[in-house]
Chains A and B, each alone.
Chain A
């Protein structure tokens, strides 16, 4: 229990830090880009919208930094992230809540698949070291060095432009209305296939290499030798002794590199014009839509923290040593 509480405390502190960074960035930067935006939309903004933007971006120079900070938190607790200028006058929270499910499903699913698949391949190639699989390593390294978005570009060029098998953009057929029915879900799967494969392909190499190295390291541990000496079946030695221990650091690595992976997948969304928050972020950057950008950053950070907590729970379940003093 102590472990869980510690981790939760850590994530609360991290969330606080992220929000505070978010609060400070516009205040530390030179110039007032948001002021300029408000000026541009003069007349279309009502007073309450202006007030919330002022609170979020610290435009009210009369108030002290501390007052601004408390105002900011007040806004967040009301779920008010300001108005989006790209989708004027939709509130940022609404834009995000529409796009978040797309990202959660696409990124969540593909990240999980690539982790499981990559770990599995890593287990085998680490265990059968010196086999033909070793010759795949340079290829894997090469693929893992390709930026996600470029692989997406190539995927589009090949499978959407040259051989138009898959759609090049969008999350579903625009003639359909989002609903939980067969035509919509199959259309969503069809649209999600190419971006999904792109993410899996770029992310998997890292897991293969990481797991392979851990397998090689763990294979020379004493307890693996004991397991061999005991005459256990190869499967038992490989999975229950070697892989079972090798996966532990990989899971903490998974948690820690989630933030990085999510960054990469956001780009895939941009390239595929996938209706998730990555694409929204891309549009927000183009339109200098600061409220939307900041809102997206907050949501992404909070999601990553939640996923981290989940990974910690899995770790807790797998490693008895973290469970010791309850």
Chain B
């Protein structure tokens, strides 16, 4: 989980006031985002059709006890002969459902609190941001454990709501900061000066520019919710009769799968969690890079030229040595040419003009191209 500190980055590189439709969709083109979306799509598909394609009833016991993976049972069986693959397939729905429901509610809460406090300011802002900081600092997991264990049968929906209730604060904090910076923009000031109602300014001037931040907050909360939910199921706080990946791990742990060497019992569920988490994190990277272009991994830089902060590469296309430049051996050995040229150019009438170098045009079009410069310059290809 990469919760820490993207705040500053978000602050000073807000998206342009009116990104075009194409610009908005541009982040989809990044490899990271695409990979993330594909994995997420795969799991979403499983969540929908999982119960139908599951080869066995996940609760059905059989006499094939603790079998390693085989053709019949791809992920092996449990101590009571249940099919692990079926448990995971059936469990996907619960995981995604809780993740997205919790993500949705938490995002709504964070937008309400964050945008309100950022836009309205004053005492209300102080109170709301103190509130979100309190919720940030209080450890969520023990709190949720307590709440969930007081309720005798904590179903998926309740778990989702509790998770949402404890995980909105980070989003609210980021949104507040972003709203604060947007509020000072000219076009918002202008809208206020012309007496537009507050709800219109928030709805039409502020919110469209928060889309990326809200989306990234949503994805972040989904990651958080999925992890929490699985954790709760693993501890046995959530209702263990509902299948999800955490429940699989709960049964594996309580039946000593580790000590019995039944790796197939807990490895697939964990990999699924990690894979889902990675996909969501990748989507978030895509959004981050969209919001803060500085984070983009180099685009268009070839392997030959290494970009380095503070040392601009020199790749002279008109020389034999076209690489890096920092250690290029073409150094000071320009010989007399350099001196002659600078002398000639420095003073007056014999000013040399460089030949025209646009592709497709020949040097002789330059009205008074000096012959001594033409040999070492060629049109750029």
A and B touch in the complex (CB under 8 A): yes
Indicate if the CB atoms of A285 and B4 lie closer than 8 Å.
no
Q: Type the 1/0 row for A143-187, where 1 means its CB is closer than 8 Å to any CB of B.
A: 111110110011011000110000010000000000000000000
B213 contacts the other chain (Cβ, under 8 Å)? Answer: no
Which residues of B have CB within 8 Å of A130?
297-298, 301, 306-307
B1 contacts the other chain (Cβ, under 8 Å)? Answer: yes
Which residues of B have CB within 8 Å of A144?
1-2, 277, 281
| Min CB gap A233→B, angstroms | 12
| Min CB gap A211→B, angstroms | 8
CA–CA, A252 and B236, complex, Å: 33
B3 contacts the other chain (Cβ, under 8 Å)? Answer: yes
CA–CA, A267 and B227, complex, Å: 12
Contact residues on B (Cβ < 8 Å of other chain), bracket: 35 or more
Which residues of A have CB within 8 Å of B138?
14, 17-18, 21, 259, 301, 304
- Known A-B contacts A18-B138, A259-B136, A305-B137; the reply to A206 vs B4 at CB < 8 A is yes
Indicate if the CB atoms of A220 and B309 lie closer than 8 Å.
yes
Which residues of B have CB within 8 Å of A138?
278
B8 contacts the other chain (Cβ, under 8 Å)? Answer: yes
A293 contacts the other chain (Cβ, under 8 Å)? Answer: yes
- Known A-B contacts A10-B130, A14-B138; the reply to A249 vs B8 at CB < 8 A is yes
Indicate if the CB atoms of B235 and A260 lie closer than 8 Å.
no
| Min CB gap B244→A, angstroms | 13
| Min CB gap B94→A, angstroms | 16
The SS class assigned to the B binding surface is helix
| Min CB gap B311→A, angstroms | 8
Indicate if the CB atoms of B273 and A147 lie closer than 8 Å.
yes
Indicate if the CB atoms of A301 and B139 lie closer than 8 Å.
yes
- A-binding residues in B (CB < 8 A): 1-9, 130, 133-134, 136-143, 145-147, 149-152, 170, 223, 227, 230-231, 234-237, 249, 253, 258-259, 261, 263, 266-267, 269-270, 273-278, 280-282, 285, 288, 292, 294-295, 297-298, 301, 306-307, 309-311
- B-binding residues in A (CB < 8 A): 10-11, 13-14, 17-18, 21-22, 25-26, 29-31, 33, 127, 129-130, 134, 138, 141-147, 149-150, 153-154, 156-157, 161-162, 168, 205-207, 209-210, 213-214, 216-217, 219-220, 224-225, 228, 237, 249-250, 252-260, 262-264, 266-267, 270-271, 281-282, 285-286, 288, 290, 293-294, 296-297, 300-301, 304-305, 308
| Other contacts beyond A259-B138, A290-B150, A304-B137: 8, CB < 8 A | A144-B2, A207-B4, A249-B8, A256-B4, A260-B140, A263-B142, A293-B149, A308-B137
Could you list 25 A-B pairs, sorted by A, with CB under 8 Å? A10-B130, A14-B134, A14-B137, A25-B147, A29-B150, A30-B151, A129-B298, A149-B234, A153-B253, A157-B266, A168-B258, A210-B5, A214-B8, A217-B8, A217-B292, A224-B309, A225-B310, A237-B310, A252-B5, A253-B5, A257-B3, A262-B141, A263-B142, A271-B253, A288-B149
